[in-house]
Amino acid sequence: MTGPVGPRPSAPVALRPLPFTAARLAGGFWARRAAANRAAIPVGYQRLKEAGSIGNLRIAAGEGDGTATGASFRDSDVYKWLEAAAWEHGRSPDERLLERIRELSRTIAAAQQEDGYLNSAIQVRGEERYAQLWMSHELYCAGHLMQAAMAVARATGETELLEVAVKFGDHLAATFGPDGRSELDGHPVVEMGLVELYRQTGERRYLDLATHFVDARGHGRAVKPGFDPSHYGDPAHYSDRVPVRKARTVEGHAVRSVYFVAGATDVAIETGDAELLAAVRGLYEAMRNEKQHVTGAIGSRWDGEAFGEPFELPPDRAYAETCAAIGAIQWAWRLLLATGEAGYADQIELMLYNAVLPAVSLDSADYFYVNTLHRRTGAHGDLERSPAHGRRPWFNCACCPPNVMRTLASLPAYLATGSGGSLQIHQYAAGSLASEGFAVDVDTDYPWDGEIAVTVRQAPAHEVELSLRVPAWASGSTLDGQPVTPGAYARIRRTFTAGERVTLSLRLPARLLAPNDRMDSLRGCVAVARGPLVYAIEQPDQPSGVTLEDIRIDPSAPLRAEHRPDLLGGVTVVHGSGTVITALPDTPYHPHGQPPPPAQPIPLTLIPYYAWSNRGPHPMRVWIPAG
Ligand code: FUB
Ligand code: ZN
């Protein structure tokens, strides 16, 4: 059994995932969050029922009556939930979860049509198949079904859902491709699903179809036909303006874009296509350098849920959809496997802590869809997904909550890779890791503390390599007292013995970050980070009566960390100082050159950004004017 992604043995990758159960969380930061997520999974099932998403499948299966509810991608919410449930049951058996997995698998199998087609809403409504592929998400649902089926098969050994996915995959292979229908689904993800199906079954036709979908995009085959003045009429919305091999940047709908390039990376890995791999690596660089928020989140526009132009990264209007960060993590993971470069693991860490974790409340009961970097004083939540409401239990378009569930359920898979007894540790969390006779325990209070102790439990009688990622921000860090290079792996190659310990000491001073000068909306501001965490000021932690927008941080003042076990489930806060304006000008604009408004000194307290909005929806900001 493997984790979420396991390239075939023939794939020329630098790193290989560990077997599914070889990485475990125990105690520590991530184990607590994973436990809260696990507890939320049965609740998620209830919410899927209440929303009608499970009901749609039941009606299509002949197990219920009525009309279908919601958009035609509702099935995908159920599939993501199934993936989460599978990883959790596989890790620690739970009969009730298994019963739900079996019951849903039976329903889904019964809903599937004779020739393999499956989409409950389209079937129940009697709509024509593939008639509106730019928006119908029929292949998107197929992709999520394939991912869920793989998780269920690998984590539980149950194959009923896999049979459904195979039948759907066969139907797609017979329907689409160079000799079949030429349209593309407006929303990618089927590419990743098909590659997983190929990995699971060894059937080349699934990889061939994924390769076709990757190369067919960029020629206007996914865009809505005819004229539509909205983003639906723009090929860029669907990553369909420029072929991926020629593209120079990510654009359009952020989730569609990163799911697509993650699938293209899978194809590059499995086919050994160096040109395609170079292209997707270039796209990742473009995203990282010009289109990523400081939190690692992506998406700058509410209109079209889209990337903006280079450096268009407004903090208050940030879209930063949770699913987009999850897709970017999936992409970075594939690039990490392909290249072995520490920078991709740095990216995964940044996004896990600061782009996915903020999306879920500390108790895992509520979710953000949109992850703003600045909730203004007096903000009014107009749309359901507006972050001004605070997190919500579910959404009419509920792509994000079950996506968080499956991501946190598969977290251990991102910790390490290994083969031949060597082990590469990418993410630091208390727990245990094992690779072919080499087993270690990891003890750490990361991210609050930078000491990471790796104790060998079992070692082969020959030389193996233990690699520990040194994050790019961790200058001045050491491994067993010796300096290590940030942004690379510290490697120890030797014959280890059980009981010995190596200690990585990462330095975690709070630090200030400044935006690139082209990021107009951030000019004059700084952000605070400590270790992997981005920080924010939130109203409840500041002196009473101050308006958050009137605060300035003094960048020359020292920053001091303090651990607060009593606050927000236990966090390290950062203390700084600054000023608050005492008399705002009473005009919106004034002649240039006037002295700054009067201000008085105040202490500032920053919390980890992920923890904001757990005390009510208060004003908050990540980027703070410096002055
Ligand atoms: O279209 C399916 C999902 O719904 C997308 O990935 C999200 O952005 C939301 O629009
Ligand atoms: Zn989403």
Nearest CA-CA partner of 290 in 249, 247, 341, 254: 249
Nearest CA-CA partner of 258 in 274, 247, 272, 271: 247
Strand partners, 444: 452
Distance between CA atoms of residues 11 and 9, nearest Å: 6
Give residue 4's pLDDT: 46
DSSP string of 131-178, one letter each residue: TTHHHH-HHHHHHHHHHHHHHHHHHH---HHHHHHHHHHHHHHHHBST
Q: Which two tokens stand for residue 585?
A: 């000008």
User: Would you mind telling me the total number of residues written for the chain in this entry?
Assistant: 627
**Which amino acid, 585?**
P
Phi-psi group of 436: left, alpha or beta (phi > 0 → left; psi -120 to 50 → alpha; rest → beta): left
The DSSP element (H or E) to which 571 belongs, if any, is strand 571-581
Asked whether 268 and 337 are in contact (CB, 8 A), the reply is: no
Going edge to edge, which strands form the sheet with 431-435?
Answer: 23-25, 431-435, 438-444, 451-458, 501-505, 478-479, 482-483
Question: Position of tokens 């790019």?
Answer: 472
The rounded Å distance from CA 528 to ligand 1 centre is: 31
In ligand 1, the atom with minimum distance to the C-alpha of 76 is: 2
Give residue 421's pLDDT: 87
Q: Is 298 in the pocket of ligand 1 (CB under 6 A)?
A: no
Give residue 3's pLDDT: 46
Closest protein CA for atom 3 of ligand 1: 399
Asked whether 535 and 607 are in contact (CB, 8 A), the reply is: yes
What are phi and psi for residue 326, nearest 5 degrees? Answer: -65, -40
CATH top-level class for 20-414? mainly alpha
Q: Is 305 in the pocket of ligand 1 (CB under 6 A)?
A: yes
The rounded Å distance from CA 259 to ligand 2 centre is: 12
Low-confidence ranges of the chain (pLDDT < 50): 1-4
CA geometry: angle 347, 87, 44, nearest 5 deg? 95
- Which residues belong to CATH 1.50.10 in the chain? 20-414
Give residue 485's pLDDT: 98
Neighbouring residues of 64: CB distance < 8 A, sequence distance ≥ 6: 55, 58
Give tens-digit pLDDT for 359-397: 999 999 999 999 999 999 999 999 999 999 999 999 999
Question: Candidates 230, 399, 406: which one to mutate for ligand 1, based on the most atoms within 8 Å of Cβ?
Answer: 399
> What is the 3-state secondary structure of 287-316?
HHHHCECCCCCECCECHHHECCCCCCCCCC
Distance between CA atoms of residues 465 and 494, nearest Å: 7
Q: Which residues surround ligand 2, an ion (CB under 5 A)?
A: 323, 399-400
Q: Is 388 in the pocket of ligand 1 (CB under 6 A)?
A: no
111-135 residues labelled b (16+ CB within 10 A) or e (exposed): bbeeebbbbbbbbbeebeebebbbe
Question: What sign does the dihedral 173-175-178-183 (CA atoms) show?
Answer: negative
Tell whether pTM > 0.95: yes
Strand partners, 417: 17, 424
Question: Candidates 144, 231, 255: which one to mutate for ligand 1, based on the most atoms within 8 Å of Cβ?
Answer: 255
Nearest CA-CA partner of 8 in 308, 336, 272: 272
Q: Is 73 in the pocket of ligand 1 (CB under 6 A)?
A: yes
Q: Is 321 in the pocket of ligand 1 (CB under 6 A)?
A: yes
Distance between CA atoms of residues 12 and 244, nearest Å: 21
